[in-house]
Amino acid sequence: MPVKSACRIVTTLLAGAVLAGLLPQPSLRAAEAPPHAWLFGAWAGGILPAPAHMNLAECQANTSFAVSQDVVVHRTLTHPAAIQNLIVSVRGTPDGTIIMLAPPQEKPEVIAGVPVDLGFGCPANNVLRVVRIGPNEIRLPDCTGFPSPLVRCGGPG
């Protein structure tokens, strides 16, 4: 499959997931919102630096990370399709959120005898620490698969 087609498929999957209900519900009051509600939506960058001065369409075309109440969806450089992880638990921290993930449902491909990493490259495979850098910027510290900051597509959450 050509890279351009794979990118379109990933973008379509991520955009579809966001449009299918990954955005926060307006009826949720702050006291009722889960500790990761501020992360809901699509994010670009992480794998590579996010392009400067992106409009919404460009940001959505470069989405590499999306979060809903129950699911984290991401892509990697070595895996052509979006990877979905169910969220097991979440807790807030003073500077962000820690998300415990279930292992991905799909099995990694093996290339040259080595399984493709479907994770984030973090020290603990199923623990994702998200640090808020600003209102629309986050970082996944110590995750080698996401060395660059991520920026929110569509404004504040």
Encode pLDDT of 68-106 as tens digits: 999 999 988 877 678 889 999 999 999 999 999 998 776
Residue 116's pLDDT band, with cuts at 50, 70 and 90, is low
Provide mean pLDDT across the span 52-78.
Answer: 90
- Considering the domain boundaries, does residue 47 fall inside one? yes
Which residue range forms the structural domain that includes residue 66? 3-152
Tally of domains in the chain = 1
Instruction: Give residue 19's pLDDT.
Output: 41
Percentage of the chain beyond pLDDT 90 is 46
- Considering the domain boundaries, does residue 157 fall inside one? no
Strand partners, 93: 96
Instruction: Give residue 120's pLDDT.
Output: 85
- Considering the domain boundaries, does residue 39 fall inside one? yes
Range from 111-115, 119-123, 128-132 that averages highest in pLDDT: 128-132
Provide mean pLDDT across the span 17-21.
Answer: 45
What b/e string do you get for 29-65 counting C-beta neighbours within 10 Å, with b at 16 or more? eeeeebebbbbbbbbbbbbeebeeebeeeebbbbbbb
Given a cut of 70, whether residue 29 has pLDDT beyond it is: no
Higher local confidence (pLDDT), 157 or 109: 109
Q: Strand, coil or helix: what is 140?
A: coil
pTM for this predicted structure: 0.75
